[in-house]
Structure 1
Amino acid sequence: MSSREESRQEKRAQALVKNSAAYETARTELAKIYDEGPRNRLHYAIRRDLVHARHADSAGSAPSSPAAALAPLKGWALHLYLIAIFDAQSRRPAGVTVANTRPLCSVNGTGSGWADLLPAIVVKRDGAPITKKGLRAGMRRQAVHALNLLEREHLAAIRGAPPGAPGRYNQVQFLDETGDGRRSVWSRHYSIPRISPFEPSHAIVLLPKSFFLNGWVHVLTAAEITTYLMILDLQIRHPEAASTGVFKVASQRVDRYGIRRDVYATHRQLAGYGLIRRLDDPNRSPDGRILRRSSQRYVSQPYRFTVLHDGFDRPALTTVAAHLLSQPG
């Protein structure tokens, strides 16, 4: 690992520990939704469209899935979208179209707004203490930025008040996982998928409740979540590879999932967290370098992976921070 990468991981671990109270508060808010909701699901259904590459909008444009488009961006967009799915499925049965009734921010401390479901990671540049008012403003900015990115990727629609008007972001409507901006917004209001092998249009992957309740939805990066969803999708599609592992060569990975090398590289972290098992090629080093000399004939093999379904059972923040700090330079 390069010294730059080592420093980046150390800073990420330090930020997690420093903001652990904020992460715990957001995790607790999700636990309230689960406890108060009538559904108490063991798993939450995500349409595979979220991670499958969409049709190119224009000639020559690169394939990209909604998740892959959000993966390299800063902010909480992909996290908030998955939290919105968790919120909807905790409250409503399968097949129902869900209208958003949750405000952007809580009003007078009653209930939870979308901003309250994200960790309050607010930094004041001048080093002065952050006031309660400043904290709430920072939380609002985080949520607004996430919603704007979701609207850009056609995963949410912001209707009603014009830009800058009070309450504009209380009018958000979440859309289905396709991110298909060619279809009308009304036909794409988010609905809860039915879990049935006989409905291919509702093809899904399942995330366990522990992904949300143990804080993984907050602690993992958008790139890590996207790569995990790809591997999970491949494993569901190819159950015959349960022991040998699933894989996609680079060109197939880009064409099918829109996942490029920098996002895909997060599989190393996912394996380190214990969420997947990477079945290594003996002719590669752990960081992917080919060990054989160029004079020898050797065709590098793609990494193969299996999902560790109990990986989310551990607390996310301490697991991730401990792994990041344990990496050798």
Structure 2
Amino acid sequence: MNRRDLDRQEARAGALLQHAAAYEAARDKLVEIYEAGDRIRSQYAIRSALVHARRAGAAGSPPSSPAGALAPLKGWAMPLYLIAIFDAQSRRPAGATVDHARPLFRVGNGQAGWADLLPAITQTAPERAGMRRQAVHALNLLEREHLAVIAGRGGVAGRYDRVQFLDETGDGTRHRWLRRYSIPRSDSVGDVVHLPKAFFLNGWVHVLTVAEITTYLMILDLQARYPESGRDGVFKVAAQRVDRYGVRRDVYATHRQLAGYGLIRRLDDPARSPDGRIIKRSSPRYTRQPYRFRTFDSGFDRPALTIVSAHLRSQRSG
């Protein structure tokens, strides 16, 4: 890893630790949702469409998935969308269509608002204004990617208190009310991947980057599609990764961090170094083999902020 990347990792670790209290407060609110919910689940179903390439980009650019489109961007759009799914599935049964009734902020003694479910890491003063900016930016991105509908026109007071989340397809060609988010049924095998409850309750949804989440969901989907590959691991060559998932090289590179956090195991080609460079060729016709991966749900059983910040800082000393 070059010096610039090491400095970036060090800065990220420092920001996590600086705002540890804010991350913990947001995590506590997710625990409240889980404990107050009518549906106690060990896993939460995410439609694979979230990471499946849905369309060609403008002017012949490569295909894009909803997650892949959000992966390079800063902000809380992807975490907020997954939190909305967690919230819905904690309250409603499989098959139910969900009207998301949360306001932007908690009102009185009512339920937490969307902004309250994100870490308050803004430098804007007063803090509430910064929290609003974070949440509004996330919701606007989700609407742009056809994953949410915001009520009313721009500038209308209270419009962010009436947000309807849409299904994971991000299909902007279908009428939005036909795409209101519904909870996948138990017979949706092959069409969904599952995130364990610890992904939310131990703060991983807040601490992982959007690119890391996207790469993890892609690997989960590959495992669901190719269950027979459990021992040898799953993989996608570069062209298939872009065509099928809309995942570019810089997003895919986050598999190194996921392995460092203990969330996946990377089964390396012995002819390659950890950073991907070829260190020996078994023959003049040697073909570089793709990385293979297996996920570990148990990796989420540890506190995200502690694990991630420690690993990021270890990169420099390592």
TM over 0.5: yes
Q: Which of residues 141, 159, 162 is equivalent to 1:168?
A: 159
User: Aligned equivalents of 1:111 and 1:89: distance in 2?
Assistant: 16
User: Aligned equivalents of 1:239 and 1:163: distance in 2?
Assistant: 46
What is the Cα deviation at residue 109 of structure 1? 5.4
What is the Cα deviation at residue 257 of structure 1? 0.3
**Contact 2:77/2:139 (<8 A) preserved:** yes
User: Aligned equivalents of 2:14 and 2:57: distance in 1?
Assistant: 40
**Contact 2:97/2:182 (<8 A) preserved:** yes
What is the Cα deviation at residue 294 of structure 1? 11
Q: State the match for 1:24 in structure 2.
A: 24
**AA paired with 1:81?**
Y
After superposition, where does 1:66-215 map in structure 2 within 5 Å? Answer: 66-108=66-108, 110-124=110-124, 130=125, 134-160=126-152, 162-197=153-188, 203-215=191-203
User: Aligned equivalents of 1:59 and 1:123: distance in 2?
Assistant: 38
**Contact 2:150/2:160 (<8 A) preserved:** yes
What is the Cα deviation at residue 108 of structure 1? 3.5
**AA paired with 2:102?**
R
**AA paired with 1:157?**
V
TM-score, normalised to structure 1, is 0.93
Query: SS at the partner of 2:310?
Result: helix
Q: Which of residues 205, 214, 218 is equivalent to 1:217?
A: 205
Query: SS at the partner of 1:327?
Result: helix
Query: SS at the partner of 2:194?
Result: strand
Query: SS at the partner of 1:82?
Result: helix
User: Aligned equivalents of 1:256 and 1:21: distance in 2?
Assistant: 39
Which stretches of structure 1, 4 residues or more, deviate above 3 A after TM superposition?
Answer: 293-297
User: Aligned equivalents of 1:233 and 1:144: distance in 2?
Assistant: 30
**Contact 1:53/1:255 (<8 A) preserved:** yes
**AA paired with 1:306?**
R
**AA paired with 1:169?**
Y
Unaligned runs of 5+ in 2: none
What is the Cα deviation at residue 293 of structure 1? 6.8
User: Aligned equivalents of 2:187 and 2:287: distance in 1?
Assistant: 40
User: Aligned equivalents of 1:170 and 1:288: distance in 2?
Assistant: 47
Query: SS at the partner of 2:138?
Result: helix
Q: Percent identity?
A: 70
Q: State the match for 1:51 in structure 2.
A: 51
1:323 aligns with 2:301: no
Q: State the match for 2:278 in structure 1.
A: 290
Q: State the match for 1:127 in structure 2.
A: none
**AA paired with 1:255?**
D
**AA paired with 1:239?**
P
Residues 109 and 22 (structure 1), Cα distance of their counterparts in 2 relative to 1, 3 Å cut: farther
User: Aligned equivalents of 2:194 and 2:18: distance in 1?
Assistant: 31
What is the Cα deviation at residue 63 of structure 1? 0.5
Moved more, 265-274 or 54-63: 54-63
Q: Which of residues 206, 230, 235 is equivalent to 1:247?
A: 235
**AA paired with 1:188?**
R
Moved more, 231-240 or 4-13: 231-240
Query: SS at the partner of 2:122?
Result: coil
**AA paired with 1:60?**
G
What is the Cα deviation at residue 110 of structure 1? 3.4
Q: State the match for 1:233 in structure 2.
A: 221
**AA paired with 1:205?**
V
User: Aligned equivalents of 2:281 and 2:231: distance in 1?
Assistant: 30
Query: SS at the partner of 2:172?
Result: coil
User: Aligned equivalents of 1:233 and 1:42: distance in 2?
Assistant: 18
Unaligned runs of 5+ in 1: 125-129
1:262 aligns with 2:253: no
